[in-house]
Amino acid sequence: MARPLIRTWRGSLQLRVVAVTLVASTLMVGAFGLIAAKSISDGLVDQRVESSVDVLESGREQAVKELSALAGSQDTWLPRVATELVKTLASQPGSGNSPYEVLLVPGPTMVDLDAAYHDGFGHPAVATSMSVPDDLRALVSDGRAGKKFVETTIDDKPTRPYVVFGTPLRIANWGSFQLYYFFPLDDEAESSAIVGRTLFIGGTALVLLLAVLAALVTRLVVTPVRVAARTAQRLSAGLLHERMTVKGADDLARLAGSFNLMAENLQQQIVRLEEMSRLQRRFTSDVSHELRTPLTTVRMAADLLHFSREDFPPEAARSAELLQDELNRFEDLLGELLEISRFDAGFAQLDADAVDLNPIVRSVVASFDSLAERCAVEVRVKIPQAPTIAEVDGRRVQRVLRNLVGNAVEHAEGNPVDVELAASDTAVAVTVRDRGVGLKPGEEKLVFNRFWRADPSRARQTGGTGLGLSISVEDAKLHGGWLEAAGEPGAGSVFRLTLPMRSGDRLLSSPLALTVGGPGDDAGDNDEHEPQEAAGGVHSG
């Protein structure tokens, strides 16, 4: 679930821009809305408080005047006067529309007052001294006036916000009272809520509008970029005539223009290279034909002379022999040069088919029987029991193996040569191991160079051309395989050909190890093939 989400996030510029716009504008609009709502509701409350102060002031004066008319706290008129007083005060035209509550609480000094009145006189209903916030009561008891915002319930109605004003009343000579006004802030709260709601709706709409706007603007930019990407893909897939449409004269039109110019140049280059490659192939093919036909005539003539050399004087007979031998070399060289040039021209084609490699390995080894005998080299073969079927080009594999086995026999210096074939689920490998002079450090790469010879003065017995391993590397590459070499001076060398089981697969490891000497020493004891990690060496692919 999370993975495709991340992929979409990374894959879409538009999505990212819209998301960032959404987050940023939500933060900004949210902050603005909060500040605006706060200042508006503060303003409303302040206004209410201001007008309430006037009501309070006049109420206080009236209360002081009426209470001062009484004789003292024992005056039996006191409860009635107080009750009447709060009733009058509460019915004064106050601030705002909602009725407010007035509470007159006798001061603590009036000990002789009937206990029933200690909670104070309230109007219109039920507010008592208990309804007054403690800290305000403390303040007023201390002789100071103050106000307090509270959320409380005075009557049976649900909790409401109030602003509570408290002020001490000092009645000359006989006592003190506390006068409280409870102004409900319903209206203000309601207004604030309306403002808040409006701001919220407006803000949300604004944010969404911004997101849509961002989406539209990015689309405007992203669409041509996507078109460019698609066009580039089609170009790289070989549709060289693909172009972008250029509209207007803005930056995007310039992008399209430059893109088309690039495509144009690329197309020209590719067409030119294709033409060159075609000419090269044509040339190779022509050279091949033009050289081979006379060579065939020469070859046949030489064969004829060679066949009847016994009738010739000795010099002529020897010349016929030399002619024959050198023609063989010339033919091999020509064949391999043409093969290499075919690879260079990219003309080589893999002719892969499911074939059993076991008989191929056996027949290649068998074809070196006479050379092995001449060199007194034993060639030991280790092949799995079951057929080793892989999708390979049999002719090319045969050619590679012929090269490897031929080289090994030639360089074995009379020591045994081991040829081993093994397969894993994904790859087949053949190693050819000799115990001859071996390779010096660094030479395991050089051996694949064209015309490279370990020892230029060395007499060659099979008349190799110096191109064999280079061609073999190309053959391996064509399969998507590896041809690697390793060696140690004096210990011998090993060549390993690894090919994917199915044509076109990628190779990850080889079923055989690339080690000098190695398991061939106990050949025959162990027929198991453990897949092993590829050792060091040169990957040809």
Partner 1 sequence: MERMRARVLVVDDDPALAEMLGIVLRTEGFTPSFVSDGERALSAFRENGPDIVLLDLMLPGMSGIDVCKAIRAESGVPIVMLTAKSDTVDVVLGLESGADDYVVKPFKPKELVARMRARLRGSQDDMPERLTIGTPGLRVVVDVPAHTVTLNNAEVKLTPLEFDLLVALARKPRQVFTREVLLEQVWGYRHAADTRLVNVHVQRLRAKIEPDPENPQLIQTVRGVGYKAGIG
Q: Which residues bind partner 1 (CB under 8 A)?
A: 285, 288-289, 292-301, 303-304, 331, 342, 347, 349, 351, 354-356, 359, 363, 387, 389, 394-395
Of residues 191 and 277, the one with the C-beta less far from partner 1: 277
CB of 371 to partner 1, least distance (A): 16
Of residues 137 and 342, the one with the C-beta less far from partner 1: 342
Of residues 355 and 377, the one with the C-beta less far from partner 1: 355
Closest CA to 371 of 460, 461, 455: 461
Of residues 360 and 485, the one with the C-beta less far from partner 1: 360
CB of 479 to partner 1, least distance (A): 15
Burial class (CB in 10 A: 0-12, 13-18, 19+), 156: exposed
Label the pairing between strands 353-356 and 379-382: unpaired
CB-based contact 171:92 (threshold 8 Å): no
CB of 391 to partner 1, least distance (A): 9
CB of 366 to partner 1, least distance (A): 10
Distance CA(412)–CA(44), nearest Å, equals 106
Of residues 174 and 347, the one with the C-beta less far from partner 1: 347
The amino acid occupying position 488 is E
Q: Can you tell me which residue has the tokens 């399209």?
A: 256
Of residues 202 and 387, the one with the C-beta less far from partner 1: 387
Return all residues near 160 (Cβ < 8 A) that are at least 6 apart.
151, 152, 153, 184, 185, 186, 189
Q: How far does Cα 345 stand from its chain's mean position?
A: 38
CB of 266 to partner 1, least distance (A): 29
Residue 447 has phi, psi (to 5 degrees) of -60, -25
CB of 480 to partner 1, least distance (A): 18
Of residues 387 and 414, the one with the C-beta less far from partner 1: 387
CB-based contact 499:481 (threshold 8 Å): yes
Of residues 25 and 398, the one with the C-beta less far from partner 1: 398
Q: How many helices and strands in the chain, by DSSP H and E?
A: 12, 12
Rounded CA Rg of the chain: 53
Distance CA(439)–CA(445), nearest Å, equals 10
Measure the N-to-C terminal CA separation of the chain; round to a whole number of Å: 38
CB of 294 to partner 1, least distance (A): 7
Burial class (CB in 10 A: 0-12, 13-18, 19+), 112: exposed
CB of 363 to partner 1, least distance (A): 6
